[in-house]
């Protein structure tokens, strides 16, 4: 029996040592891989307090006296009291929320600080531990209050993880699931152990800590946490109006921005491109467009393929025209590792183009009518100017001819009565005839310059 107990204690101690070492490695990996920022700092704080809790719990299990165990617990409760606060702040940073104000930060720090001070002063009031020995302890009301308050911090963090998760891409939702499970499972096990539903003589929540760390490691290494893109840029990418989808060479979906596709369908259960095509088949206008889209997935390393596809809008009979472009993603050696398809809604552009074409047609018709009207006005103006010319020529010619005839009659009388004055009168007649002819020519020349055809 003693051998079994020794074996159990050895395994528990080994699991705790493994957890502590694993946390150190995980913290170093994240610190090296990340680019800094609030989200990294809060996450490293979580890793640190978990390491502190695990390490000093190992010392607590082998403490030789009550005084030494109490000193170890005082250090250990730094991690226990503030772990919920760090988890909540990490979830806020992960969601991209701005840092809380100083007053709000003080309010968030007040409960864990109060509980930690209650631990330090427990020998004076015995409200945190009713009794405390080398091997056992009896919890007081303040210990239960700490558990409930820590649970509230965790629930607040979980709320930030899952809030608006439907707008997130696949791997971001998986990150949230892993982080939520990694945070909530140990505290739930700790609560069950504390209230006696799980009755063990050791802190099982620390023994299952490798499980939580394994989930976090999956998020770090597999689902690109703190990798490739900063958090703020991820939010920008996921909430742009255009869509994108990354499909690897095995036709598995690596990433997409859910906000764009939620306008047409639910992609939560789509893991492969074939699943997407099955959903597209119910909302696409022309099935031939789907065949062209599948062909686009075979785009070569240096080319790109473009096309158009029409999707039926959710809860509507209207179709949206989408233009897509497929392009290969290559690794450092030039081998194709995935295809990225970008989608752009051109429905509004096409509607504007059609409206412009309609307006252009109306303008052309108005132009033709205006040209016809201008031509008729020009013709009328020419006729009016021609009539004016004829009237002026008629008046000038009539007046001149009348004067010339009068002078000719005068010449006849002068020739009979005074032959010596005949030459002067004849000269006057010729001058008047030339003057009349000049006036007629001047009028005709003036109207020609105005563009009136004679």
Q: Which helix (H) or strand (E) holds 247?
A: strand 243-248
Q: Provide the pLDDT for residue 235.
A: 56
Q: How far apart are CA 220 and CA 178, in angstroms?
A: 10
What is the token pair recorded at 168?
Answer: 């997130």
Among 246, 250, 248, smallest CA distance to 238 is for 246
CATH number of 2-225: 1.20.1070
Q: Provide the pLDDT for residue 384.
A: 76
Q: What are phi and psi of 131, to 5 degrees?
A: -145, 155
Q: Provide the pLDDT for residue 106.
A: 93
Q: Which helix (H) or strand (E) holds 338?
A: strand 336-345
Q: What are phi and psi of 135, to 5 degrees?
A: -110, -25
What's the burial of 155, exposed, middle or buried (CB within 10 Å: 0-12/13-18/19+)? middle
Q: Provide the pLDDT for residue 227.
A: 43
**Helical ranges in 95-229 per DSSP H:** 102-120, 122-125, 141-162, 170-195, 204-207, 209-221
- Domain 240-345 listed as CATH 3.40.50.970: no
Q: How far is CA 171 from the centre of its chain?
A: 17
Calculate the alpha carbon distances from 422 to 92, 394, 414 in Å.
124, 30, 6
pLDDT in tens, 101-128: 889 999 999 999 999 999 999 989 999 9
Q: How far apart are CA 53 and CA 83, in angstroms?
A: 9
DSSP letter at 99?
Answer: P
Q: Structure pTM?
A: 0.53
Q: Which residues pair with 305 in a beta bridge?
A: 326
pLDDT in tens, 172-204: 666 667 666 766 676 676 666 666 666 655 555
Q: Provide the pLDDT for residue 228.
A: 38
Among 200, 181, 180, smallest CA distance to 190 is for 200
Q: Provide the pLDDT for residue 284.
A: 81
* CB-CB contact of 256 with 169 (8 Å): yes
Among 213, 112, 94, smallest CA distance to 165 is for 94
Contacts of 414 (CB under 8 A, 6+ apart): 421, 422, 425
* Biggest alpha carbon–alpha carbon distance for the chain: 178
Q: Where are the domains of the chain?
A: 2-225, 240-345, 378-449
Q: Provide the pLDDT for residue 108.
A: 93
Express the helix, strand and coil content of the chain in percent, nearest 5 each. Answer: 70, 10, 20
Q: Using DSSP, how many helices (H) and how many strands (E) does the chain show?
A: 15, 7
* CB-CB contact of 39 with 95 (8 Å): no
Q: Provide the pLDDT for residue 288.
A: 82
Q: How far apart are CA 296 and CA 342, in angstroms?
A: 11
Q: Provide the pLDDT for residue 229.
A: 45
Among 307, 337, 345, 341, smallest CA distance to 327 is for 341
Q: 3-class SS at 228? A: coil
Per-residue pLDDT of the chain (454 residues; tens, 9 = 90+): 556 666 667 777 777 788 788 788 878 877 777 666 777 788 888 888 888 988 888 888 888 899 999 999 999 999 989 988 998 888 887 776 777 888 999 999 999 999 999 999 998 999 999 988 888 888 889 988 988 898 888 888 878 767 655 545 555 666 667 666 766 676 676 666 666 666 655 555 555 666 666 666 666 555 455 543 444 555 555 556 677 888 888 888 877 777 777 777 777 677 788 888 888 888 888 778 888 888 888 887 777 888 888 877 776 777 778 888 888 888 666 778 888 888 888 878 878 888 888 899 999 999 888 988 888 887 787 777 767 767 766 666 667 777 766 766 667 666 666 666 666 767 777 777 777 777 777 766 766 665 555 5
Alpha carbons within 13 A on the beta-carbon side of 20: 13
Mean pLDDT for the chain overall: 76
């Amino acid at each position: 029996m003693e051998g079994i107990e020794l074996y159990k204690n050895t395994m528990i101690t080994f699991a705790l040592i493994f957890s502590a070492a694993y946390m150190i490695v995980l913290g170093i990996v994240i610190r090296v891989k990340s680019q800094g920022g609030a989200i990294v700092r809060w996450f490293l704080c979580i890793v640190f307090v978990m390491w502190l809790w695990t390490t000093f719990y190992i010392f607590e299990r082998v403490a030789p006296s009550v005084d030494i165990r109490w000193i170890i617990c005082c250090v250990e409760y730094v991690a226990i009291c503030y772990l919920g606060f760090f988890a909540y702040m990490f979830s806020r940073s992960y969601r991209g929320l701005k840092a809380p104000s100083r007053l709000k930060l003080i309010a968030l720090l007040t409960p864990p600080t109060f509980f930690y001070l209650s631990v330090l002063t427990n020998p004076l009031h015995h409200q945190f531990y009713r009794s405390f020995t080398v091997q056992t302890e009896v919890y007081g009301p303040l210990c239960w209050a700490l558990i409930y308050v820590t649970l509230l911090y965790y629930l607040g963090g979980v709320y930030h993880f899952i809030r608006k998760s439907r707008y997130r891409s696949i791997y971001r939702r998986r990150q949230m699931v892993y982080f939520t499970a990694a945070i909530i499972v140990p505290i739930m096990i700790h609560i069950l152990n504390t209230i006696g539903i799980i009755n063990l003589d050791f802190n099982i929540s620390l023994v299952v800590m490798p499980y939580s760390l394994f989930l976090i490691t999956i998020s770090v290494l597999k689902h690109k946490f703190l990798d490739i893109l900063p958090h703020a840029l991820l939010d920008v990418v996921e909430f742009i109006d255009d869509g994108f989808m990354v499909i690897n060479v095995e036709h598995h979906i690596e990433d997409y921005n859910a906000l764009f596709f939620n306008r047409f369908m639910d992609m939560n259960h789509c893991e492969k491109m074939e699943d997407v095509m099955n959903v597209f088949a119910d909302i696409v206008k022309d099935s031939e467009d789907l065949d062209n889209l599948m062909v686009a997935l075979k785009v070569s390393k240096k080319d790109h393929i473009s096309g158009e596809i029409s999707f039926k809008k959710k809860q509507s009979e209207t179709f949206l025209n989408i233009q897509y472009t497929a392009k290969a993603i290559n690794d450092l050696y030039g081998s194709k590792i995935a295809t990225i398809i970008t989608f752009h809604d051109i429905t509004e552009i096409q509607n504007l183009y059609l409206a412009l074409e309609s307006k252009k047609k109306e303008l052309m018709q108005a132009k033709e009518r205006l040209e016809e009207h201008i031509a008729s006005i020009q013709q009328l103006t020419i006729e009016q100017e021609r009539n004016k010319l004829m009237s002026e020529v008629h008046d000038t010619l009539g007046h001149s001819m009348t004067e010339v005839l009068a002078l000719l009659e005068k010449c006849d009388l002068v020739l009979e009565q005074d032959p010596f004055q005949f030459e002067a009168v004849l000269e006057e007649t010729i001058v008047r005839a030339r003057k009349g002819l000049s006036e007629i020519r001047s009028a005709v020349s003036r109207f020609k310059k105005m563009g009136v055809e004679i």
